[in-house]
Structure 1
Amino acid sequence: MEIILRAAVVFVVLWLITRAVGRSTLGELSSFELLLFITMGDLVEQGITQEDHSMAGGLAAVSTMALLTVIVGWANVRWPKLSGILHGEPVVSLSNGRPDTKALRAERMALHDFMTAARGEGFKNFSDIDLAVLEPNGKISFFAKEQEG
């Protein structure tokens, strides 16, 4: 039972950490960040199971994490208003060719990273973009200005 409670606490802490880290970081992890998360996973495992190296202890911890993930997904579908809390809301980060620097700062995204993402989608200038939305999954949706003519 102690392993199940520890796994539940760690689940909540990891959820809070991923929310605090920010969307731009979760969208694409650098090599260092990937190693950090893998290492964090190993450290978390040790904290959950302590000295219990049994198959039952490991299965209890993994099952608890899986069950809580399913519950969060179910709650997201059942109560759509929770989606903003559980997964975040889309954020308009550029409108009519002008980046919203306040929104980018609130999401901890540097302007040069935002422009890099725009170039990756084929935009040379912000003025070519009508709307850009930072999605809850960390990706940015870009919408081009309509061409006249």
Structure 2
Amino acid sequence: MDLSFIVKSFILFFTGVFLLRIAGRKSISQMTLAQTIVIVSLGHMIVEPIVEVSMVKAIGGAVIFVVSIIVVEYIQLHFNRFEKLIMGKSKMVIENGELNIKNLKKLRLTVDGLEMRMRNMGLTKIADIKMATIEPNGQLGYELKEEAKPLTIGEFKKLMNISSQQNESQDAGQNIFDEIYSDTPQKHPEYLN
């Protein structure tokens, strides 16, 4: 086995890791179309020199791809239209507990596919969803109807404060020690005296 082959492999591996760190790290499900193309292309370019193509050309091409993805992301940050062109827009798939069949067809997404995404998010009923979208990265975004939202800790504390205030106001007239501290005796029903 040729020593230069091993050295080339290590150089290409670490160059790939370095370039991917520069390009940014996201899981495959969160990648945009442009990022996915760059990642696939980088993988191909990094393997090519091992099959006897110029290592310098491969690294140069990989650098150009990473720089291009950084430029595209920079332009996306500053120009909303360009972002929509590259990334696409969210599509509404559920509105007020009803499926938007028209958008499901545009997305080529079956009801079973939508239900699978809902189950992955812990959602069990379409009727509980106020609105749901398929985001450009393929993830499901949603908002529950008011009656289906879980109780938060903040809301629970507010309810407990209201409840304790009501109990205090009800108990204020029923303090059993009032008779001791008061000069006037309290009236009790005749049968208890």
Q: Which 4+ residue blocks in structure 1 deviate beyond 4 angstroms?
A: 40-44
TM-score when normalising by structure 1: 0.64
**Structure 1 residues 43, 67: closer, same or farther in 2, change over 3 A?**
closer
SS of residue matched to 1:142: strand
SS class of match (2:58): helix
C-alpha RMSD of matched pairs (Å): 2.8
Verify the 8 A CA contact 1:118 1:142 in the aligned structure 2: no
Instruction: Give 2:127's aligned residue.
Output: 127
Q: 1:64 corresponds to which residue?
A: 64
Please give the secondary structure, in 1, of the residue aligned with 2:122: coil
Per-residue CA deviation, residues 16-56 of structure 1 (Å, 9 max, x unaligned), is: xxxxxxxxxx749xxxxxxxx9xx7589549x98x862221
1:123 is displaced (CA, Å) by: 2.1
Q: For residue 101 of structure 1, what is the amino acid of its counterpart?
A: I
5+ residue gaps, structure 2: 1-27, 31-36, 149-193
Gaps of 5+ in 1: 1-25, 29-36
The match for 1:5 is none
Matching residue of 2:113: 113
Aligned equivalents of 1:119 and 1:101: distance in 2? 19
Counterpart of 1:16?
A: none
Q: Alignment identity in percent?
A: 18
C-alpha distance 90-75 of structure 1, shift in aligned 2 (>3 A): same
Q: 1:73 to 1:106 in 2, by over 3 A?
A: same
C-alpha distance in structure 1 between counterparts of 2:142 and 2:121, whole Å:
8
- What is the alpha-carbon distance in structure 1 between the residues aligned to residue 29 and residue 128 of structure 2? 23
* 1:53 match: secondary structure: coil
- CA separation of 1:72 and 1:42: change in aligned 2, threshold 3 A: closer
Q: TM-score, normalising length from structure 2?
A: 0.50
What is aligned with 1:80? 80
Matched, 1:93 2:93: yes
SS of residue paired to 2:146: coil
Aligned length: 111
Q: Deviation per CA, 1:37-76, whole angstroms, max 9, x where unpaired?
A: 9xx7589549x98x86222111111011111101110110
* Separation of aligned partners in 1, 2:45 and 2:52: 10
The higher-RCO structure (CA 8 Å, 6+ apart) is: 1
